[in-house]
Chains A and B, each alone.
Chain A
């Protein structure tokens, strides 16, 4: 059974600071996704990482993937209040069945002024 663990689950940080959210998964994976969820809303797709060493950046967020370590990171640079949300990683296993995703527990990020 594929397991996905995020760390930390709760993160409170000040504006302007940097931090990293970690996503570990237990078995070989084809694809790793990062999503953002605002309270009461559905998921917003942030990144999809398809290969070892993949790095993607959008604004203050940068995601990377190390398939050998089964680890993905979401790095936040110079955080701003608008980044406050819950961030989920999700993994699709190598042997897919209709691209079934397994989600991490989510990291609730609060950026304080």
Chain B
């Protein structure tokens, strides 16, 4: 149980285009979803926290107009990178938490999406 999927797993796009990444909790309802980005050889950096049906809370320094997050249902959150530039190239990982298993609030991580902006 507690499986989180992401789609796509890998995307290459041209500078200036927008890219949407989906994060789904497959077998549980995720009350909260988190979006992280990870640069090579670095740790995970939390970008934003989203709760179903409400606006996402962004971390300091993360542009909310550039990284649009929608958490429309208890099983789906999307991250849209708008007008992507090469510096947005990174590994994006989502996680979801809810009433899965025996531990409330445990985060379950998706497999990640590798974004390359040319």
Contacts and interface: CB of A to CB of B under 8 A. Distances in A.
Interface string B14-43: 000000000000000001101000000111
A98 B43 contact: no
Interface string A72-106: 00000000000000001000100011111111111
A42 B97 contact: no
For this complex, into which size category does the number of interface residues on chain A fall?
Answer: 20 to 34
B44 interface: yes
B49 A41 contact: no
Contacts of A54: none
A82 to B, nearest CB: 20
Tell me the interface secondary structure of chain B in the complex.
Answer: strand
Interface in B44-89: 44, 46, 49, 51
A106 B93 CA distance: 16
Contacts of B103: 48
A43 interface: yes
A98 B95 CA distance: 12
B12 to A, nearest CB: 15
A40 B110 CA distance: 13
Given A48-B103, A105-B43, A100 B49 contact: yes
Q: Is the interface of A mostly helix, strand, loop or mixed?
A: loop
A88 B43 contact: yes
Contacts of B108: 45
A42 B32 contact: no
B51 A48 contact: no
Contacts of A99: 32, 97, 105-107
A92 B105 contact: yes
Interface in A10-41: 35, 40-41
A40 B51 CA distance: 28
Given A41-B111, A88-B44, A105-B43, A98 B106 contact: no
18 contacts: A35-B109, A40-B114, A41-B112, A42-B93, A42-B112, A43-B93, A48-B103, A88-B44, A92-B105, A97-B49, A98-B97, A98-B105, A99-B106, A100-B34, A100-B49, A104-B43, A105-B43, A106-B43
